[in-house]
Amino acid sequence: MFLALSLTATLPGAPTTPAQLGTSISLRSNEEGRLVLIRGAQTSGVETYKSKSGLTHLRFRLTSGGASYAAIAYENQWTPALRRALEAGRVDAAGVWETFQGAPSFTLKYVVAPLSTATTTAARNLLRIRDAFVPEGSVQKITRAQNVTFTFLVGSEIYQGVMYAGSWNSAALDLLLSGRVTLYGHWETFEGRPSFVTTRVTP
């Protein structure tokens, strides 16, 4: 169980409010007044895990001020977009400090700017991979998040690709299944592996 943790000068973050962040955040009664914003936090080891009650939470490491801490985003408070922001490696994170197993732990409530800037950053760095071969059996749809993952070959090299929910349709899926395509997108980390985040597929 998490217990309330008194904020001290040793823990990073400046006090903030949902109004100051310009968003609506669901806070429990014991979290009121304890929300902090950590700017430029480094994130790593992002992964999902199931609790004993069957809920899927997101856990990761958060590093700020030279110290690393355990961090968590509960099932009803994370989305695929938030996960991608964490996997990018650096965020402005809003949340509350608690204790877990006797150590400080950060409960993530909201990620600031990177979520809104990711699209424009990706657009500026859009890459094209021509003549990519996609083995038909490698194309899979992750039901919960509605992401599509696949592998593709360029020459003899094998890479991982992903199309996030909202960026693919049945026509794009048919093209992937056709076997040989041109991919447009950018590189980032997905489920701990370098992946080509594909935003468009053409013959």
pLDDT of residue 203: 84
The answer to whether residue 201 scores a pLDDT higher than 70 is: yes
Task: Please report which residue ranges of 55-150 form alpha helices under DSSP H.
Answer: 80-87, 114-124
Tokens representing 61 are 């490491």
The answer to whether residue 68 scores a pLDDT higher than 60 is: yes
Furthest-apart CA atoms within the chain: distance in Å: 58
74-133 per-position pLDDT tens digit: 988 887 777 877 887 888 899 999 998 889 999 999 887 443 333 333 344 568 888 899
Tokens representing 198 are 């594909």
Which residues are within 8 A (CB) of 67 and not within 5 positions of it... i.e. 6 or more apart?
12
pLDDT of residue 179: 85
3-state secondary structure of 29: helix
Q: How confident is the model at residue 200 (pLDDT cuts 50, 70, 90)?
A: confident
pLDDT of residue 125: 52
The answer to whether residue 4 scores a pLDDT higher than 50 is: no
pLDDT of residue 24: 76
Task: Using a cut of 0.85, tell me whether the model's pTM lies above it.
Answer: no
Instruction: Please name which of 130, 166, 121, 129 lies closest in space to residue 148, comparing C-alpha atoms.
Output: 166
pLDDT of residue 173: 85
Q: Rounded to the nearest 10 degrees, what angle do helices 80-87 and 114-124 cross at?
A: 70
b (16+ CB within 10 A) / e for 163-187: bbeebbeeebbebbeeeebebebbe
140-197 per-position pLDDT tens digit: 876 556 788 899 988 778 888 988 877 788 888 888 988 889 988 888 777 777 788 8
pLDDT of residue 143: 58
Which residues are within 8 A (CB) of 55 and not within 5 positions of it... i.e. 6 or more apart?
74, 75
- Placement of tokens 């059996």 in the chain: 137
Contact 90, 111 (CB under 8 A): no
